[in-house]
């Protein structure tokens, strides 16, 4: 209680001192308020795939065999398995056993991060040949996203300053120092293109004998930010 009273007294004394010195609060000054907006589109350099290995029936490849073949394919394509391959889910599904009394379905789900889209087509083809076709795009991202977001925000502030200078000049005045800056909207909205946003089960629409890998195009990631800025009007 005593601390609260002390703080209030200090604030009151500070306010009186400012008033006596003739210094205005920024709310009392003439100012111009503008919104600056900046945008950027970036090509995703991190594509996350979901790969599901499934052992369903007798006579099919075992889960262990599928796993070994998948890892061999990834290494062959120059993918760092230790760094970019993650087991997301490991489970033995007994539902099929209780329902059909025939076999126990065992599955493993992996997340694979590819640094660029150039290897996706070849990867899909090679996995298809090994009998692995339950592949889908999980999400896309960018390794320098936070850095690029800051850059867009800074550009939005610069855009606000340019706008304030133009408006102030139109009325024969000048925009001075910034009195107030606030983010007013925008953000990061990752999207997948119509081509990428599909599951690659039984992936190849092409003939199985073709060696050409499918080409996947991803939409760029749009970054957009707006800032509200008040500049002193001289």
- The β-bridge relationship of strands 105-114 and 46-55 is antiparallel
Question: Do residues 47 and 216 touch, judged by C-beta distance below 8 A?
Answer: no
Q: Which of 188, 199, 201 is nearest to 40 (CA)?
A: 188
pLDDT in tens, 40-94: 999 899 999 999 888 765 557 788 888 999 999 999 999 999 999 998 865 544 4
Q: Which of 1, 39, 32 is nearest to 156 (CA)?
A: 39
Buried b (16+ CB within 10 A) or exposed e, 49-67: bbbbbbbeeeeebebeebb
Is the pLDDT at 21 greater than 50, yes or no? no
pLDDT number for residue 33 = 95
pLDDT in tens, 149-182: 999 999 999 999 999 999 999 999 999 999 999 9
pLDDT in tens, 127-156: 988 888 888 888 889 999 999 999 999 999
* Global confidence as pTM: 0.66
Using DSSP, state whether 142 is helix, strand or coil: coil
Element (H, E) at 132: none
């Amino acid at each position: 209680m005593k601390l609260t009273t002390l703080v209030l007294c200090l604030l009151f004394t500070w306010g009186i001192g400012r008033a006596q010195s003739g210094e205005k609060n920024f709310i009392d000054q003439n100012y111009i308020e503008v919104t600056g907006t900046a945008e950027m589109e970036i090509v995703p350099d991190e594509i996350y795939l979901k790969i599901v290995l499934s052992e369903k029936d007798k006579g099919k490849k075992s889960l262990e065999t599928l796993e070994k073949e998948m890892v061999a394919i990834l290494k062959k394509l120059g993918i760092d398995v230790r760094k970019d391959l993650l087991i997301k889910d490991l489970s033995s599904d007994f539902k099929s056993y209780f329902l059909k009394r025939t076999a126990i379905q065992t599955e493993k789900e992996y997340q694979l991060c590819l640094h660029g889209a150039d290897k996706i087509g070849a990867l899909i083809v090679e996995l298809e040949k090994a009998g692995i076709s339950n592949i889908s795009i999980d999400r896309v991202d960018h390794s320098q996203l936070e850095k690029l977001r800051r850059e867009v925000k800074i550009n939005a502030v610069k855009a606000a300053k340019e706008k304030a200078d133009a408006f102030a000049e139109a009325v024969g005045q000048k925009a001075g120092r910034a009195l107030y800056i606030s983010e007013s909207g925008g953000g990061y909205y990752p999207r997948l293109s119509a081509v990428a946003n599909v599951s690659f089960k039984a992936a190849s629409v092409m003939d199985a004998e073709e060696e050409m890998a499918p080409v996947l195009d991803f939409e760029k990631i749009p970054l957009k930010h707006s800032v509200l800025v008040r500049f002193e009007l001289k």
